[in-house]
Structure 1
Amino acid sequence: MDLLMTILLLMGCLLISNIISHYVPSIPTALTQIVLGVIIAFAFKHTSFELEEEWFFLLFVAPILYNDGKYFPREELWKMRRSIFGNSLILVLLTTIGGGYFIHWMIPGIPLAAAFALAAILSPTDPVAVNGIAKRIHIPEKVLNLVKGESLINDASGIVAFNYAIAAVVTGYFSLKDAILNFSYLFLAGAVLGLIFALILTLIRFNLRKEGINDVVFHSLLQILAPFVIFIITEELLHASGVIAVVVAGIIHSLISRRFETSIAEEQVLTENIWSIILFVLNGIVFLLLGLNIPLSMSETIADPNIGNLKAIGYVIAIGFVILAIRFVWSYISAFYEYRLSKNKDIEVPNVKIALLTSLTGVRGTVTMAGVLSIPFFLNNGDAFPERSLILFLTAGVILFTLICATVFLPFLCKDELNEDEKIIDKNLIDAKNRLLSAGIKAIESELNDKNEAVAYELIHEYKHISQNLRFEQTSNAVEKKFNQQEMVEIQLIALKAERKYINELMGKSEIDEQVFKALDKSLDYREEVFLRNPSQDTMFLVRKLMRATKIFYKKFRKRKEIKLNNLKLVKDIQLKSFQAAIEALEEYLRSHEGSNAAQDVILYYRTMINRFKGNVVKYNEENIKQKEELRIKAMDIERSAVRNMYESGEITREESNELRRYINYIESVILYKHAE
C-alpha cells in the first residue's frame, strides 16, 4: 500500500509540474520536478522510494535509450558525424579522466576509481532537460542537433565507463589492459546483440502476422516490452552492454518500421501514444527522485565534520564548472578542426559564442541520475561504498547547477537570436486553422435543415469555441488580449441594449404587465452584471450560479399558484423576439465592422439560444449522434480541400500543410474510433 501511495503521489506531482510549466514557462519542467521532489521529501519524511541498483537501469535507462534510438535522425546527424562521435566518445573519455582526477584531488576521501565513476556518469547529456528552454528561445538548430545526436551515444558510452569504474571500486581490482578489452567487448558485443535481437523481434512479428495474429494491442505491447527483454538477456545472460544493445535495437527498429509504415499504421499510432506517456512518466519520476534524495544526501554530507554547507555547495559549483569547462574547450577545438578539415565552404566559422551555447546545452539529467542511484551500498568485502551519500549529493547538485546555468545564461546568449520567422510560422498556422474552421462552419450551414438544426448549431458552436481559443492563443500581447475581451463585452452589451429596447417598447405599449416586465428587466440586469464582472471573480460567480441552480431544483417541486402557464408562454415568446432583435442589432453592427469575429460569435450564441427555446435541444440518441458524425465528416472533407488549395496556392508551406492534415486526422480518428472488446 505504501508503494502504491508513493507512486500515486509521484504521478500527481508530474501533473502539477506540467501545470506550473504552463504558467511559468521560463522555468524548465525538470527543475520544477526537482523542487517538487524536495518538497515531498520534507513534507513526507517517512515516504521513501527504494529500488535495487540493477532495477534503475532496467526500468529507466533501457526504455529511454531504446526510444532515443527509434528517433535517430539519420540525414541531419550524418552531416555532423565527426562532432557527434567526438562528443560521444572522446569528450566522454576526457570528462571521465579529467573530471575524475580533479574530483579526487579536490576531495581525497573519494577514491580515484569512484571519482572516475562520478565523472563518467556526469558526461552524458540530456536534451529532454533543455527542451523546455529551447521552446521559448531560439537555440541554433546545429547546436540542438548536436546535443540530440551525441546524447544517443554518450549515454551508452558514459554508462559503460561508469559501470566499469563502479566494478573497480566494488571489487578493488583494476587493470588497464583488462579494462580496454572488457570495454571493447561490452561495446561491440552489445551493438551486435542489439542488431540480432532487433532482427529476431522483427521476424517474430512478421511471422505472427502471417499466422493471422494482427491484434494491434498485442503487437504494441510486444514493442513496449522489447527494450526490457533485450536489456535483461544482454546484461544478465550474455554479460555485454545492455545499454548499447537497446540503442542499436531502437535504431534498427526505426529503419525497418519506416519501410512498412502504411501496413502497420494503426499499430504505429497506438505504440507512439503509449511510448509518449511512458517516457513522460519515466523522465519526470527520475527528476522527482533526484529531488527526493537531495535532503537525505545533503543531511548525511553536512553531518561529516569535515564538510559544511558552504564547502559542499562549493564542491558542486567547482565540479560543475570543470565539467562545463572541459566541454567548452573541446567544443571550440573540435569545431576549429572540423572547419579546417571540411570541404564545405558554407560551414560556419568557429567562435566562442557557439562553443558556449554547446557547453550550456549539455545539461545533465535522467541518465545521470538513474546511473548514480544504481551505485551499490556495499563492496564485495562487506564494507560500505566509500562516500556514497556525498557522490549522490554531488551528482544531484551538478545536475541542478547545469540546469540553472542553462536557464539563466542561454536566454542571455540567445537574445540576439530570437527567430521572428518561427513566430510568423506559428501565426500563419493559427490563421490557417481558423480558415479551416470557417470552411467547416460554412459546410455545416450548407447542410442545415429542420431535422438536424439542433445538432448543426451545437457543432457550429463547438467550431466557434475552438476558433475563439486559437485567436486567444495567437494574441500573445497582454494589452491586445485585454482589448479583445473589451470588444467582446461591448458587442454583448450592444445585443443586451437591443433586447432591453424591445422590452421597453412592449411596456410602453402596455402589451405586458409590470410583473413580467420586472422579471425580464431583472434578468437583463443580471446578464449585464455578468458581462461587466471582473474575470478574477469567476470562482465566486460559479458558486453563486450553483446555489441558484440548487434553489431552482428544489423550488420546482413547490406549487407556485401565482405563476400561470399563459404568463410563462408569454415570457418565452417575448424572450424569443428579444433575441431576434439582438441578432438584428448585431447584423447591423457587422455591416460597419466587417469581419468582426466577436460579433459573429455572439450572433451564433443567440441563434443557439433561440433554437433551445424552441425546444430543439440535442438529445444524444442514435439518430442525433449519426447526424453529428455525418456533419463532421462533410466539414472535414471541405477542410481537407481547403488545405490542398492553400498549399497549391503557396499560402502555406509543406510543413504547415502536414500539420493541418494531422490536426484534421486527430479529430477524425476520435470520431470514427470504435471500441473493440
Structure 2
Amino acid sequence: MESFELVLVLLAGVILASLAEQLIRHVSLPLVQITVGLLAALLIPRVANVRIDSELFLVLFIAPLLFNEARESSKHELWTNLPSILSLAIGLVGITVLIVGFVLTMLVPSIPLAAAFACAAALGPTDAAAVSALGSTVNLTKRQKVLLLGESLINDASGVVCFQFAIAAAVTGTFSLVNAGMRFAVLFFGGIAFGMAAGFVAFLGVTLLRRRGFENNVVHVLYEVFTPFLVFLLAEELHVSGILAVVAAGLVMARHTPRLTTTAQAKHNLLSNGFWEIIVYVINGVIFVLLGMQLPQALSPTLTGGSGLLHFMGITLAVTLLVMLARFVWVLAMELIHRNPETGLRGIAHMAPTIKEALVTTIAGPKGAVTLSIIFTIPLTVEDGSAFPERGFIILVTAGVILCTLISADVLLTRLSPSQETGVSEEVIRRFEVMVLKNTIAELESKIAQGTHPEYEPATRAVLGGYRARLIKTQLEIAEYSDAMTMLIRNTLMVQRQRSDELEKEILSHVSGKAAAPYYALLKNIRGSVGYYNKGTHVGLRGGGLSMRLRMLYAALNPHKVSDEKLELMYYQTCLFALELERVAIAYLEGVMAHGSEDVVKAARILIDEHRSIEETLQKRVGYTGEQPGADAGKLFDAKQCVLSEQYRLSHEYLAMITAGALSVELEKIGELQAAGSIGEDVAQVLRQNVYVLQMNAGFE
C-alpha cells in the first residue's frame, strides 16, 4: 500500500508541476518539478525517506529514456561526429573522475579517495533531455545538439562503469588497474555488441509479424516499450553494460523518415508517438520530483556530517564549479582543433565564437536522472560491515550539483544563446506547413510537367486541388496574411458571384428548373475538386428568384434520369462556367496588384497564382480551346466527349494511388526541411502527425 501511495504522490507531483509551469513561464519544467517534490516532502514527511532500488531505477527509468532517444536519433549525424562524442563520453568522464575525486578528498578529508572517485563518476554523465525540457528557449547549433545527444547516450555507461569500479575499491579496499581495464572493455564493447544483436532480432521480429499480416498496433507499440527492459535485463545477466546495450538496440531500431503505404502504419506511428511522448514525460517528471523529495535531508546534521548547512552548500558549489570548469576546458580544446566541414577552418581560426560555443555546450550538459540513479546505488556498508563513509553527505552533494547545473542551464543559456523563436506556437507550425505544402505542390506539378505518365495527370490534378485548398486555409490562419487574404477572398467570391448571375440567366433560359438541377451539384463538385472550400463551393448558379429556387428544391427531391451523354455535356458546360469565374477572379486580383497596399499585393500575388493553377486544371480537364460558357458551347462538345469520359475514368482509377503518393511526397518534404536544419524535430513531429491523420482519414489499405 505504501508503494501505491508513493506512485500516487509522484504522479500528482508531475501533474501539479505541469499546471504550475503554465503559470510560471520563465522557470524550466525540471526546476518546477523539483520544487513540487520539495513541497511534497515537507507536507508529507514520510515520502522524504523513500528509497528506490538502484538497479530498479536504472531499468525502470533510464532504459526506456535512452532507448527512445537512440531510436529517434540520426545515425548519420552520430557517426559523423563520433570522435568528438567519444571524447566527451569517455575522455571527459575519466578526467572528471580524477580531478573531482582528488579535490573532493582534499575538501572533505573524511571521504576516502575511492568514495570521492565514486561521487565524481556519478557526476560524469550529462542529461541532454533536461535541456530539451527547459521552459526557456535555447538556440543550439546542429553540432551542439548532436554532441549533447551522443554524449548523453554513451557517457551514462562510462560513468556507471567508473562508478562501479570506485565503489568496489571503496568496499573491498583493493583496486587493480589491469582488471578494471579489462572489465571496462568487456562491459563497453560487450554491451554494444549484444545491444546491436538484440536490436536486430527485435526489428526482425516486428518485420516478420507485419509480413504475416499481424497489424495489431497496440501490440506493436507495447512490443516497442517492452524491448528496452528486456534488452537491459538480458545484458546485465550476461555481465555487459545494460545501458549501452539499450542504446545500441535503439540505434538499430532507429526511425527513418517514413513513407506511408497503409493506414495501419499511419495508425501505428500516431499511437507510438503519443505513447512514447507520455512515457518520456512521466519518467522525466517522476525523476525530478523524486530529486526534490531528497532535498530536505540537507537540513539533517546526521547526513551533512554535523558540519552545517553552509559547509554543505560551500562544498556543493565548489564541486559544481570544478565539474563545469573541467568540462569547459575539455570542450574548448576539442572545438579549437575541430575542423568545420563547410569552411575547412579549425575553431582556433575564430576564437571568440569558438569560446562562446564551448561555454554554451558546457552549460547545456547539466546533470540529471542518470546521475541521481547512479548515486543511489552506493551500498550502506563496506566489506567489514561498517557504514559506508559519508554516504548521506555524498548523495546530498550530488543532488546539490544536479540542482546547480539545472539552474545554471535555465538562467544562463537563454542569455548566451537566445533562440530567434518564442517557441513552437501554432503560428510557427502554420508557417512551416505552408513551406511543406508549397514544396509538395511544386513536386506534384513537376510530375505533371514531365509527362512520363499521362494517365496519372487527371488524378494528380484532382489531388492538387485538395492541396491548394489546404494551402489557402493554412495561409488564412497566419496572422501576416490573414486580414488581407480574408478581404481578398471575400471580394473575389463577390466578383465571381456577380459574373455567375449574368451567366446563369442564359443557361436557365434554355432549360427547365428540373433539368437545371444537375448543374448546381456539378458546379459545387467541380469547384470543390479544384481547391475551393466552404462558401467558395457555393458560388454560381443560385437559381434566380424564389419561384426558381422552389422548383430547384422540388427537382432535388424528385430527380429525373439523365443520360450519360447528356450528363457529360452538362459537366462540360459547367466546367466552362467555372473557367469563366476563374477569369474574372484573375482579372480582379490583377487590378488589386496594380493599386493595392504592400500587404494586399502580397496576398493577391499568392491568390492569383492559385487561381491560375485552377484555371489550368479546368482547361486540361475539358481540353479547352477557347469556347465560352452558354448554350452554344454544346456545338463543340462532340469532339470532346471521349476526352471527358477518359479523364473521369483515369481520375477515378488512380485517385487513391496518387493521393497516397502525394502524402508520401509531403512526408519527404518534411524530412528534407528537417535534414537541412530549417525545422526542428518538434516541428517535424507535429507536421508528420498531421499527415498521418490525413492518411488515416483517406483510409487506403
TM-score (norm 2): 0.61
Equivalent position of 1:128 in the other structure: 129
Shift of 1:27: 1.2
Equivalent pair of 2:433/2:687 in contact (CA under 8 Å) = no
Which residues in structure 2 correspond to 1:73-152 (within 5 Å)?
A: 73-133=74-134, 136-152=137-153
- The 1-side partners of 2:3 and 2:81 are apart by 45
Equivalent position of 2:233 in the other structure: 232
Shift of 1:209: 4.1
Equivalent pair of 1:21/1:28 in contact (CA under 8 Å) = yes
Structure 1 SS opposite 2:382: coil
Equivalent position of 1:600 in the other structure: none
Equivalent position of 2:688 in the other structure: 662
Equivalent position of 1:328 in the other structure: 328
Q: 1:378 aligns with which of 378, 381, 385?
A: 381
Shift of 1:433: 6.6
Equivalent position of 1:52 in the other structure: 53
The code of the aligned residue for 2:406 comes to L
Q: Does 1:389 align with 2:388?
A: no
Equivalent pair of 1:190/1:234 in contact (CA under 8 Å) = yes
Equivalent pair of 2:337/2:347 in contact (CA under 8 Å) = no
Shift of 1:232: 1.1
- The 1-side partners of 2:674 and 2:86 are apart by 37
The code of the aligned residue for 2:204 comes to L
Structure 2 SS opposite 1:363: coil
Shift of 1:327: 0.5
Q: Does 1:361 align with 2:360?
A: no
Q: Does 1:42 align with 2:42?
A: yes
- The 1-side partners of 2:137 and 2:47 are apart by 35
The code of the aligned residue for 1:225 comes to F
- The 2-side partners of 1:277 and 1:322 are apart by 36
Equivalent position of 1:30 in the other structure: 30
- The 1-side partners of 2:189 and 2:432 are apart by 50
Equivalent position of 2:633 in the other structure: none
The code of the aligned residue for 1:8 comes to L
Equivalent pair of 2:304/2:393 in contact (CA under 8 Å) = no
Equivalent position of 1:276 in the other structure: 277
Equivalent position of 1:190 in the other structure: 191
Equivalent position of 2:289 in the other structure: 288
The code of the aligned residue for 1:313 comes to M
- The 2-side partners of 1:338 and 1:311 are apart by 41
Shift of 1:77: 3.1
Shift of 1:155: 1.5
Q: Deviation per CA, 1:69-111, whole angstroms, max 9, x where unpaired?
A: 2123223333333321111111011011111111111112222
Shift of 1:269: 3.4
Identity among equivalent positions (%) equals 31
- The 1-side partners of 2:228 and 2:171 are apart by 27
Equivalent pair of 2:126/2:366 in contact (CA under 8 Å) = yes
Q: 1:408 aligns with which of 390, 406, 411?
A: 411
Q: Does 1:16 align with 2:16?
A: yes
Q: Deviation per CA, 1:2-43, whole angstroms, max 9, x where unpaired?
A: 322321221122122223223333211111111111000000
- The 1-side partners of 2:148 and 2:435 are apart by 37
Equivalent position of 1:300 in the other structure: 300
- The 2-side partners of 1:209 and 1:304 are apart by 57
Shift of 1:665: 3.2
TM-score (norm 1): 0.63
Structure 1 SS opposite 2:254: helix
Shift of 1:205: 3.1
Shift of 1:68: 2.0
Residues 671/52 of structure 1: CA separation in 2 closer, same or farther (3 Å cut): same
Which deviates more, 78-87 or 221-230? 78-87
Shift of 1:166: 2.0
The code of the aligned residue for 2:412 comes to F
Q: Deviation per CA, 1:143-186, whole angstroms, max 9, x where unpaired?
A: 23321221111122112211222232233331111111111111
Q: Deviation per CA, 1:608-663, whole angstroms, max 9, x where unpaired?
A: xxxxxxxxxxxxxxxxxxxxxxxxxxxxx9xx99x98xx99xx9999679678536
- The 1-side partners of 2:174 and 2:410 are apart by 41
Equivalent pair of 2:28/2:135 in contact (CA under 8 Å) = no
Residues 375/304 of structure 1: CA separation in 2 closer, same or farther (3 Å cut): closer
Equivalent pair of 2:38/2:293 in contact (CA under 8 Å) = yes
Residues 304/146 of structure 1: CA separation in 2 closer, same or farther (3 Å cut): closer
Equivalent pair of 2:269/2:692 in contact (CA under 8 Å) = no
- The 2-side partners of 1:275 and 1:104 are apart by 42
Residues 315/302 of structure 1: CA separation in 2 closer, same or farther (3 Å cut): farther
Q: Deviation per CA, 1:367-396, whole angstroms, max 9, x where unpaired?
A: 111211232323343322221211111111
Equivalent position of 1:345 in the other structure: 344
Q: Deviation per CA, 1:313-333, whole angstroms, max 9, x where unpaired?
A: 000000000000000111111
Structure 2 SS opposite 1:364: coil
Unaligned runs of 5+ in 1: 438-464, 476-483, 485-592, 596-636
Equivalent pair of 1:95/1:123 in contact (CA under 8 Å) = yes
- The 1-side partners of 2:330 and 2:387 are apart by 36
Shift of 1:277: 1.3
Equivalent position of 2:524 in the other structure: none
- The 2-side partners of 1:431 and 1:210 are apart by 39
Unaligned runs of 5+ in 2: 438-472, 484-596, 601-658
